[in-house]
Amino acid sequence: MKFCSCCGSSDIEYKIPEGDNRLRHCCPRCDAIFYENPKIIAGCIAQWQGKILMCKRAIQPRCGTWTLPAGFMENHETIQEAAARETFEEATARSSNLELFAVYNLPHISQVYIIFKADIEDGKASSGIESLETEFFDEQDIPWSDLSFPIINETLDLYFEDRKRGNFSMHTGEMMHDHERAIQIVRY
């Protein structure tokens, strides 16, 4: 942040405001304080005839790798609406029966990842603007070595573990980067 979005001043200071305990961008001219907060990524692990809907990313980062339909939740929608919207935007697929499945913290990038178990009742899907391909995969056909993000592996693992047990439950956990920037997943 280089300029105050309220008054246009270029004298932005990065400091702890009075009565606060965190660094914020502050404008000494108009006293505006600019807060930044974590963002929610909402999406679906959606099945049709036991196969999982996945999308090959047409955008960076990780263009060309496979992911679950998910993206930034927008203002004035519910998490469920965001997950269904992303599933439609990325795979033109209509999801139903959404149930909360995983709530994972990604504190190193200030994101919270909220995934719903869902059904695509008509089995219809095709590439949205952010996808190169869409496909419903059986477990053994999932492109495990070519997934977009570690949280996608984790979500698929949780799903198939639950399915084998015959009981789906809600999962929470955290994706951490250690000092060597290796990724570590902790299930709470």
* Contacts with a second copy, residue ranges (CB under 8 A): 1-8, 10, 19, 22, 34-40, 72-81, 100, 103, 105, 107-108, 110, 112, 114, 129, 170, 172, 174, 188
Q: Which is nearer to a second copy, 9 or 153 (CB)?
A: 9
Are 75 and 146 contacting, i.e. CB atoms less than 8 angstroms apart? no
Q: Minimum Å distance from CB 182 to a second copy?
A: 18
Q: Write the single-letter amino acid at 83.
A: A
Alpha-carbon distance of 12 to 26, in angstroms, equals 6
Q: Minimum Å distance from CB 2 to a second copy?
A: 6
Q: Minimum Å distance from CB 146 to a second copy?
A: 26
Non-local CB neighbours of 188 within 8 Å, separated by 6+ positions: 172, 173, 174
Q: Which is nearer to a second copy, 137 or 185 (CB)?
A: 185
Q: Write the single-letter amino acid at 61.
A: P
Q: Which is nearer to a second copy, 35 or 61 (CB)?
A: 35
Q: Minimum Å distance from CB 102 to a second copy?
A: 11
Q: Which is nearer to a second copy, 7 or 141 (CB)?
A: 7
Q: Minimum Å distance from CB 153 to a second copy?
A: 20
Q: Which is nearer to a second copy, 100 or 139 (CB)?
A: 100
